[in-house]
Structure 1
Amino acid sequence: MTRFDVVIVGGGIAGASLGAELAAQASVLILEKEEVAGYHATGRSVAFWEETYGGPQVQPLTTASGPMLLSPDPDFSERSFVSPRRTLHVGRVGDEGARDRLLASYVGKVALERVDPQVVVPGLRPEWMLGVLEPEVKDIDVGALHQAWLRLFRRRGGEMRLIAALRSAQRQSNGWRLEASGGPIACGVIVNAAGAWADDVARVCGVAPLGIKPLLRTVLQLRVPAMPSMDLPLVMDLGGGFYFKPEGEGRIWLTPHDEVPSPPCDAAPDELAVAQAIARFQEAVNWPIEAVERKWAGLRSFALDRAPVYGYDPDMPGFFWFAGQGGFGIQTSPAAALLGRALLMKEAAPEIIASLDFAAYSPTRFR
């Protein structure tokens, strides 16, 4: 039987980043049930680094991750993972409250400024008269970031097994005995980084689930030749009805910001959401749509309070939660991985995350 210090269930951005941090100090195995790591949420993300995205509970993780994404350690990557974008939060009459809450929630934490949205985005329809610019927002190269985590993981001695679903897990006096594709495995700690499958993995391990719910989000790629510039900001509705961002010359990625409850699955786009997205886009701008070139969907998994869950389960020794990261797991991955390592190894936190409120992410808040 093969033995590891830590077995991580899930090879997406959560498992890859935490695995890379742990592998320098421990023997680590990642179990990934798909043929390719990151097939589900990680591989389908419309990723950007935006400090207000996810709310005030997530913002400290995002802010701490920013410098590591912009100027990574040379051992991690020789180039930056981000490029300039900006976000324009827009609203109509009736959205004043949402605008004011946004501005008030991040005073002294995030750069935000009131602007005339018509000046920032040519072609925005005149009823969209409320604007807040978030100038420091960046696009993230998700594929490059995920692969960099996996390379670092392997370079530090980590092992990954693909097409290796966790079938069973029994707690023993000295750790865990697991059954997965390829035979039995022994380990000291199981890390649940299974995304939409997090509660299912907990059940397999005899751990009470936390109520982490997968929510489906639909995304479209539109060809819009009349789009004024590929350097336009990400445009986000203050009312939560849509966001879109340029994706090359004359193309945008668009979502109706939907969150449809779903079982864990290989998500497919919802056709009603596709129609809603197009209708909301046409209500926002006067750019004609030439074609819907692609459409896809991903699952975002949230705990009940929509904050991520990092830490040991209080009722099951050796079971570590690293889940519930919603749609912000990529933009927070550097800081979250450092936090996860500190909590799992029971060591002092690095200075860059020392000011975080670790208790805000603990699974004990649900027990």
Structure 2
Amino acid sequence: MQHHDVAIIGGGIAGLSLASFLAPHRSVAVLEREAANGYHSTGRSAAEFTLRDNAPPVNALARVSHAFMAEPPEGFATVPLLTPRGSLWIGTTGKEDAVERARLAAEDAGVAVVPLTIEEAVRRVPFLDPAYLGAAYFDPDYWDIDVDQLLQGYARSARRAGAVLLSGAELLNARHDGRRWSLETSAGAITADLVVNAAGGWADTVAALCGVKPAGIVPHRRTAVTVELPAGIDAGALPEINEIDDTYYFKPDAGRLLVSPADETPCEPADVQPEELDVAYAAHYLEEATTLTVGRIASSWAGLRSFAADRLPVIGPARDNATFFWLAGQGGFGILTSPAIGQLAAGLIAGLPLPDAFAQEGIDPAVFSPRRLD
């Protein structure tokens, strides 16, 4: 029977980023229930990198992560992980004050946002409806993330450091005998000194299998569709478009336009599928804000975004079992913060010093500890 210092449950971005940073210091196995890593949340993310649109502790993690994303280690990726995109923030008539407050807040934070007239906004996005727009500004600090390159980079670096990545290995049973964990999976049995719960929407399910008190991680369904762009529109030149109250967003995606109604519907962990009503809302918002008519949905899908009650990640040993480590609750920001969260979790597990950037950003690991949930 294989024995490892650490068994990571979940081969999404959380599990593989941790494996990448931890494997040089501990023997690691990653157990993924699906046939491919990143199948659920990671593989269905719109994946933009932003420095500001989350809670302050998460934004600090994003700032630490940006250096890694902008200049990954040599050999980590074959193409850049980040591509400049920018974001156009818009509000309809009646939301001018909300747009102005957001713009001023960004300026107060030292961000070089650009206020736009309605005509200037339409020049950036020619199919916006000027009759809909009340106000707009442009934020340059948005990037597209090449999620596949990022995920595969973590996987390669973990393997190079000796990690074992097991697919089709669903956790079926777990028992701790006071010395080590015995894990029964659909791909066989292994033992480990420490179990890391990086199971995303299934995090509380994994905790229950291990006899650990749940952390209250709730998965939420989010929907996205793609539609064809009008002839003559250069998708590569378009910014992401965000509604000021987060009612919807749309952005270029593989030559089409990705549209999401920004839904967050609590649900059971599952291979979620888009609901017809949410698909209809996506089309409605696009037609309301633009001159486009949605005649056909080219594709649609849904993914899981999982949160703790306070919407901060849960990182650290379980309150009731120090040999069970939480790495969950990263809904909506798990990909963009994965370099920082992977390093933070690896440091906590292996007793490693964190890079100076963590102290410079004022990051306190206790803010993310499961103990805050007591």
TM-score by length of 2: 0.93
Matches within 5 A, 1:345-356: 345-354=350-359, 355=361, 356=363
The 1:255/1:82 distance shift into structure 2, 3 A limit, reads: same
Please state how far the C-alpha of 1:97 moved relative to its aligned partner.
3.4
Please state how far the C-alpha of 1:342 moved relative to its aligned partner.
1.1
Matches within 5 A, 1:189-204: 189-204=194-209
CA contact (8 A) 1:269 1:296 kept: yes
What is the match of residue 50 of structure 1?
Answer: 50
Please state how far the C-alpha of 1:347 moved relative to its aligned partner.
2.4
Residue identity (%): 40
Whole-angstrom distance in 2 between the partners of 1:220 and 1:205: 37
Matches within 5 A, 1:185-224: 185-224=190-229
What is the match of residue 311 of structure 2?
Answer: 306
Whole-angstrom distance in 1 between the partners of 2:161 and 2:368: 27
Whole-angstrom distance in 2 between the partners of 1:315 and 1:219: 38
Structure 1 counterpart of 2:127, one-letter code: G
Whole-angstrom distance in 2 between the partners of 1:207 and 1:50: 34
Matched, 1:364 2:364: no
What is the match of residue 264 of structure 2?
Answer: 259
Please state how far the C-alpha of 1:151 moved relative to its aligned partner.
0.8
Residue of structure 2 aligned with 1:125, choices 112, 126, 129:
129
The 1:98/1:339 distance shift into structure 2, 3 A limit, reads: farther
Please state how far the C-alpha of 1:335 moved relative to its aligned partner.
1.1
Range 352-361 or range 90-99, more displaced = 90-99
CA contact (8 A) 1:166 1:181 kept: yes
The 1:265/1:99 distance shift into structure 2, 3 A limit, reads: farther
What is the match of residue 335 of structure 1?
Answer: 340
Matched, 1:241 2:247: yes
Whole-angstrom distance in 2 between the partners of 1:312 and 1:98: 41
Whole-angstrom distance in 2 between the partners of 1:278 and 1:218: 11
Give CA deviations for 1:176-208 in whole Å, capped at 9, x if unaligned: 222212433221111000000001001111111
Whole-angstrom distance in 1 between the partners of 2:166 and 2:340: 25
What is the match of residue 37 of structure 1?
Answer: 37
Residue of structure 2 aligned with 1:269, choices 270, 274, 279:
274
Q: Which runs of 5+ in 2 are unaligned?
A: none
What is the match of residue 112 of structure 1?
Answer: 113
The 1:195/1:110 distance shift into structure 2, 3 A limit, reads: farther
What is the match of residue 21 of structure 2?
Answer: 21
The 1:343/1:11 distance shift into structure 2, 3 A limit, reads: same
CA contact (8 A) 1:338 1:353 kept: no
Give CA deviations for 1:296-338 in whole Å, capped at 9, x if unaligned: 1101101111111111112211111111110211111111111
Matches within 5 A, 1:150-169: 150-169=155-174
Q: Which runs of 5+ in 1 are unaligned?
A: none
- Corresponding residue SS for 1:58: helix
What is the match of residue 143 of structure 2?
Answer: 138
What is the match of residue 178 of structure 1?
Answer: 183
CA contact (8 A) 1:17 1:333 kept: yes
Structure 1 counterpart of 2:31, one-letter code: L
Structure 2 counterpart of 1:145, one-letter code: L
TM-score by length of 1: 0.94
Whole-angstrom distance in 2 between the partners of 1:205 and 1:246: 42
Whole-angstrom distance in 2 between the partners of 1:208 and 1:111: 45
- Corresponding residue SS for 1:236: strand
What is the match of residue 300 of structure 2?
Answer: 295
CA contact (8 A) 1:98 1:239 kept: no
Whole-angstrom distance in 1 between the partners of 2:178 and 2:322: 10
- Corresponding residue SS for 1:228: coil
Structure 1 counterpart of 2:46, one-letter code: V
The 1:174/1:360 distance shift into structure 2, 3 A limit, reads: same
Matched, 1:61 2:92: no
Question: Over the residues paired in the alignment, what is the CA RMSD in angstroms?
Answer: 1.8
- Corresponding residue SS for 1:25: coil
Give CA deviations for 1:261-287 in whole Å, capped at 9, x if unaligned: 111001101110000110111111112
Matches within 5 A, 1:75-114: 75-95=75-95, 96-97=97-98, 99-101=100-102, 103-104=104-105, 107-108=108-109, 110-114=111-115
Whole-angstrom distance in 2 between the partners of 1:5 and 1:211: 27
Whole-angstrom distance in 1 between the partners of 2:340 and 2:350: 15
- Corresponding residue SS for 1:318: strand
Whole-angstrom distance in 1 between the partners of 2:248 and 2:32: 32
